[in-house]
Structure formats: structure tokens, C-alpha cells
Amino acid sequence: MIIDILTLFPESFSYLNSSILKRAQESGILTINIIDIRTFSKDKHKKCDDYPFGGGAGMLMTPQPIYDAIKSVQKENSKIILPSPSGKTLSPSLAKELSKEEHLIFVCGHYEGIDQRIIDIFSPLEISIGDYVLTGGELSTMVIIDTLSRFVEGVISEESLAEESFSNDNLEYPQYTRPADFMGYKVPEVLLSGNHAEIAKWRKQQSEQKTLARRPDLIKGKK
């Protein structure tokens, strides 16, 4: 999968070059390009923002640099994503759907957002990562990429995906590693028993109890 990120703040994206996403890029499963929108500005000072018509607080990103940046990478199979608080909320199923795309283009709005005409021209898929407002689309772009990358084949193991929170509409059970006794806090006996059926039963129970206590809405949603 190829991911192009269009942003005024390319330095924000170092997280994508660490850990699992770094490995996915090194093995050729993912290619992530960071493209500086400012380099496309035709303004003599490379300006990319201006005051909103009609007044109001803050600055808006002007259409020309974004338009040209998109046009420089857009292909027939590209899907354009605009992270925005007014978008569709990110969910595991949306992330899974996006993981099947060949080419994603993320447009990171900043300040008060982008000129509406970019939305009218390109009809991007607007995605929100939650009901709160960030100072720009950079963090949400990373959240969306991180979430969808886990569903791209080869990025993490199938087993990890099957066991994690939300995979069965439940939150994940508690996990433990060595040592079996940490300052008197012991790992539950059943996990040391080697009895796989009992372990599976315990994990399922833990998962259901945790979901009921913390996120009963997930259980209700199932019915």
C-alpha cells in the first residue's frame, strides 16, 4: 500500500518511522511519503493560509497549494482522506476497509481547516478520530494510519488481530509476562497451568466482565 501524506508540518511524522510501521516500510509492505504542501504554493512568500471570507476566528488553508499537492500524487486508484472532526468516526471496520486500498492520500488541515472548495472538488472521505478538536489533522492522520496498517497483511500477526480489543465486540483480557511473581503480585494460576481450554475460558470470562464494567454499550450494540 502506498500512503501519501500532504501536510504543512512534515516534521510531525517521525512516529511513523519507528517500531512496527518502520518494519512494515522496510519490508516493502507499506510506502509512506510525506509531502510538504508549502512547496506547491504559488505565492511569492509561499503563504498557504488566509483569513476566512465573512469573518471569524483564525486562518484557513488556501485551496491552490492543496489542489496542486493532491494533483501531484493522485492516480486513478487513489482514495483521498481528510481527517476532520465533522467526518465519519473511525472504527475497526472502517480501518479494515481502508487497509484494502492500494493508494491513500491524507490531506492534513491545520489552523481552522481548509477551503470548502477542496472538499467540493475532490470529495474526500472525511474521518474523525473522536468528538474533540485537535489543532490540525497531523495527529489524526497518524492515528488513522496506525489503526489501518494493523489490518494490512503482514504488518502484524493474524493471531494478534483475533485476540485484541473490539475483535469480538469485547475488550481484551488482562495479559501477563515474566516474572510469575512481581513484588508479591502473582500471575493468575490458570495461566501457568498449561491447560489451554481453561486458559481460553478464563480469558473469555475476563474479557466479558471487563466489557460489561467499562463498555456496556459494546454489548448492547451486539443485540
Which range binds ligand ADE by CB under 6 A, 33-41, 82-90, 147-155, 198-206? 82-90
Cα–Cα distance list, 113 to 22, 40, 95, 146 (Å)? 29, 18, 23, 22
Which range binds ligand ADE by CB under 6 A, 44-52, 93-101, 133-141, 155-163? 133-141
**Secondary structure E strands in the chain:** 2-7, 31-36, 49-50, 60-61, 78-89, 103-107, 125-128, 181-182, 185-186
Q: Is 128 a residue that touches ligand ADE (CB under 6 A)?
A: yes
User: Which CB sits closer to ligand ADE, 81 or 171?
Assistant: 81
Which range binds ligand ADE by CB under 6 A, 1-9, 26-34, 92-100, 130-138? 130-138
* Span 153-212, contacts to ligand ADE by CB under 6 A: none
Partners of 107 in the beta sheet? 6
Q: Could you give phi then psi for residue 126, rounded to 5 degrees? A: -90, 130
Smallest distance, ligand ADE to C-beta of residue 138, A = 9
Contacts of 114 (CB under 8 A, 6+ apart): 60, 61, 63, 66, 82, 107
In this structure, the strands spanning 125-128 and 181-182 are: unpaired
Helix axes 138-149, 19-26, angle to 10 degrees: 70
Three-state secondary structure call for residue 125: strand
Smallest distance, ligand ADE to C-beta of residue 85, A = 4
Which of residues 18, 53, 55, 133 is near ligand ADE by CB under 6 A? 133
Smallest distance, ligand ADE to C-beta of residue 57, A = 15
Pattern 32-71, ligand ADE, x by CB under 6 A: ----------------------------------------
Instruction: Enumerate binding residues for ligand ADE (CB under 6 A).
Output: 83-85, 128-130, 132-134, 137, 140
